[in-house]
Structure 1
């Protein structure tokens, strides 16, 4: 039944594959058992010669169905008429889906923050599918009353389902991938599915492997199989390399040994795919899945490399170490991007990991060169930690203003300018290194001042912009105050059109210094950077102006309360045209901050469902992209 290679085939010169090599093996079958035994052997859930159709294709159908649901949702969100989006059914559906997309859970003992509820439910659905397909059909091993075959049924079905996951594991690992193009989900948010499909594939590979060992131990020829069967010689390296990839990708291990894993995972992945390919040995339609995997992954690589090398080309980055300890990287470019996007940067120098690229969130906004008369600058503010970020800081300290040649891949993620223009209230929340993300959002909000919530030209009522930044580092807080105040003070749109601009408030929280007062300073927009005298202003002193800026010592921001108050205020107001307010929440920071923000946004969906507000939208930026350790 299952094709094997004996010692004679090894003399053919191609010891790893059966001869002659074909794309598919034959499905011809002649059962020599009794009629009753043949009927038992050839039933749908046990028949080896159709196992790829029953188990592998059903796995593909499941994955494609999930992708199709999100692709259709993406199309509806983009192109559905406004009157449809204002109906109660649409509002209820959107609020429910957003609740599941935002709600997360925290396990303090394990220091673990779960993915959102929707991702958990998808994972549970996948687990139920694979458990049902693996453990549901019987038997697990062939009966002993006849020679039904040398492949235990449970091993057969687990192997085919593991193989069917291969194209999706590879595609979900790519940054410029087809799933993101269809669903609109940024590649960094698909990483959780890349990890989970990889884990499922590994568990199925184990379920595929051990029944063979048990079967041959019972049969008494395990030693012979180990010495003579190339199936084992190809399967063991594939399983070992897959084990390495799976174990090293666990968050606790990956975060600790990120640079090492990043440098070795591609080599391990190649070893895995090569030996997995040889192990399958063109059985039935097994090689079709490798062809699909290769085509989809290569297309993703080609798209990414065409953008990097041909469209973007080589750039020059200028490094500067700021008094706050941050490294400022400025890159003049003609590349276009939207707020909150990130790029992967490869430094073309041997002292900065030439062979690997590193993600950095963009802290500036794109300006049209035809309007400004000069090219835009990609600005990154990088917190030195270890690895390449520590090397960047050392270079900038040794040679201020030094220049390095780089390649840029991306941009990825972000929030579209059209989407951002829809919101009447924008709440920007950031922590630590996420401050750069928030600066880009502030810049974009000010650039959009005067545009109505539908993104078209015309008069616009006054909107609200709230910025909350939290850090343990006083130097970083001082840097942030100077940066955000400079942007607000010198915003041409804000100063020239107070009626149609943003009512802006900024709160900076320093969580590591002794508290001297509840609020150390309140400043207005009509003056320059915060002076020492203004830093010492008592809390009672308030100044009205175009924006307010508050610095709090030893006080963490109450993110849930902030979102709840923002929604409560919006409930009492209406946008131009009598519509309810639209609220956009944009957050980037550590896991605890993202967790609190997501859950508060999830709770607030009840207000959107009831029509108290038109919508509440959350965009969260993974902190791992920002810190780029």
Structure 2
């Protein structure tokens, strides 16, 4: 569109200049509006190509503002209602305004008696648990979350990785996600006003495939765990699927973000062929890089409570700076019988214990990584996964009369390897292969 606009302006400029009317023509109000529209759309293109990569929130504001200015100025450039350009401009503007009204109405509707409970996770993660389940919400789709306690005029998209209650896991980067994590650290377990717009997104139905290969890097596991949970929740005793789940994280701490989902995959390993492999790309330098026993106790407390209790998702109070090697919540010396436990009380006790030991330092003992392997009961390997070999092995071991879904989410490098490898495996005499990628964009 921008290229055609430049061509349009250049040709008319040459035409008016050849007739000696360039200065008088461009002094007219309609042509001034055209110049304003041109610079507005230039700003839109610049923000999309350059600014979006470095400062997404500024890009978003610039994008919306300049688009509105450009559309309005285009309308003033051709103000005659009888001309097609004016009708097209009005149509485009009305579609955008209608879309915004619908989205705002959905956010206001879903905000009635709705709250989100925030839980800090190790290494900059935040778990967000909604009180109300949006219509048509299912793991793997995404919603735009509105948390006025963090940002009053912003909504941000995050992937659903659990359907009831609806849970999101957010990795702190900059801007909103960093402020969200800092708030959760300062107020662990706090409930704040919330709403959602969505769900959005679509993906191939995993139940139509015999083998499902799920590959994730870091926070991309929100999508692959969501897809895995989507399959397991819909399976019956007669359903048999082969799931290959690969997840790479930077630190052992990140594994605790989805311990419940990992346990769910483990419990289905007998009835369903589930092969889970976890990779840690950075070797742990201290015990702070491993999930705490206190965190595991809280996860067990949550599993013993009712799934309908929103106030009891896993709670992992942590320090803002995970590199200081400050101690995590210590494991209790004994555990009460399951029936005598009060999960909510245990969470508050864990928070108090963490606050009491906040100023102390860790002892710097050597780490036994086998403890982490035993804790999650899945193989944990050091280094980056050879995604190409893992995908080839999964597809080549599938009979030619079956179908394979390769679904991945993660950084650009990983997605490039997944796309290239899967494309080469689509052959006429092999199994049916379908690829679906959810790539980091912001």
**Common fold, TM-score beyond 0.5?**
yes
The TM-score range, normalised by the shorter chain, is 0.7 to 0.9
Residue matched to 1:443: 229
**Aligned-pair distance for 1:478?**
5.0
1:433 aligned to which of 201, 219, 224: 219
2:247 aligned to which of 453, 469, 486: 469
Counterparts of 1:138-537 in structure 2 under 5 Å?
A: 201-227=1-27, 229-250=28-49, 252-282=50-80, 284-310=83-109, 313=112, 315-335=114-134, 336-349=136-149, 352-364=150-162, 366=163, 376-415=164-203, 419-450=205-236, 459-460=238-239, 462-480=240-258, 482-489=259-266, 491=267, 494=268, 498=270, 501-513=271-283, 535-536=369-370
Question: Higher helix fraction: Structure 1 or Structure 2?
Answer: 1
Residue matched to 1:602: 423
Instruction: Return the index of the structure with the highest Cα Rg.
Output: 1
**Aligned-pair distance for 1:535?**
3.6
User: How far, CA to CA, are the matches of 2:111 and 2:185 in structure 1?
Assistant: 28
The 1:395/1:311 distance shift into structure 2, 3 A limit, reads: closer
**Aligned-pair distance for 1:476?**
1.1
Q: Secondary structure at the match of 2:153?
A: coil
Deviations 1:247-284 (A, max 9, x none): 1111x421212111212322221111111001012263
1:550 aligned to which of 373, 379, 383: 379
Counterparts of 1:539-618 in structure 2 under 5 Å?
A: 549-554=378-383, 556-571=384-399, 580-606=401-427, 609-610=428-429, 612-613=430-431, 615-618=432-435
**Unmatched runs of 5 consecutive residues or more in structure 2:** 286-298, 301-330, 332-365
What is the aligned residue count? Answer: 362
Deviations 1:394-443 (A, max 9, x none): 11111111222122001011436xx2212221111100111222222222
Are the aligned partners of 1:449 and 1:502 in contact in 2 as well (CA < 8 Å)?
A: no
User: How far, CA to CA, are the matches of 2:367 and 2:182 in structure 1?
Assistant: 34
Residue matched to 2:353: none
**Unmatched runs of 5 consecutive residues or more in structure 1:** 1-200, 367-375, 452-458, 516-527, 573-579
User: How far, CA to CA, are the matches of 1:302 and 1:259 in structure 2?
Assistant: 21
Are the aligned partners of 2:130 and 2:167 in contact in 1 as well (CA < 8 Å)?
A: yes
The 1:287/1:226 distance shift into structure 2, 3 A limit, reads: closer
Deviations 1:219-259 (A, max 9, x none): 333333333x2232111111111111111111x42121211
User: How far, CA to CA, are the matches of 2:110 and 2:194 in structure 1?
Assistant: 14
Give the root-mean-square deviation of aligned CA atoms.
Answer: 3.0
Are the aligned partners of 1:348 and 1:407 in contact in 2 as well (CA < 8 Å)?
A: no
**Aligned-pair distance for 1:295?**
4.2
User: How far, CA to CA, are the matches of 2:247 and 2:88 in structure 1?
Assistant: 48
User: How far, CA to CA, are the matches of 1:533 and 1:390 in structure 2?
Assistant: 29
User: How far, CA to CA, are the matches of 2:247 and 2:423 in structure 1?
Assistant: 21
Are the aligned partners of 1:589 and 1:622 in contact in 2 as well (CA < 8 Å)?
A: yes
The 1:534/1:473 distance shift into structure 2, 3 A limit, reads: closer
Deviations 1:519-544 (A, max 9, x none): xxxxxxxxx99x9998438x9xxx9x
**If the length of structure 2 is used for normalisation, what is the TM-score?**
0.74
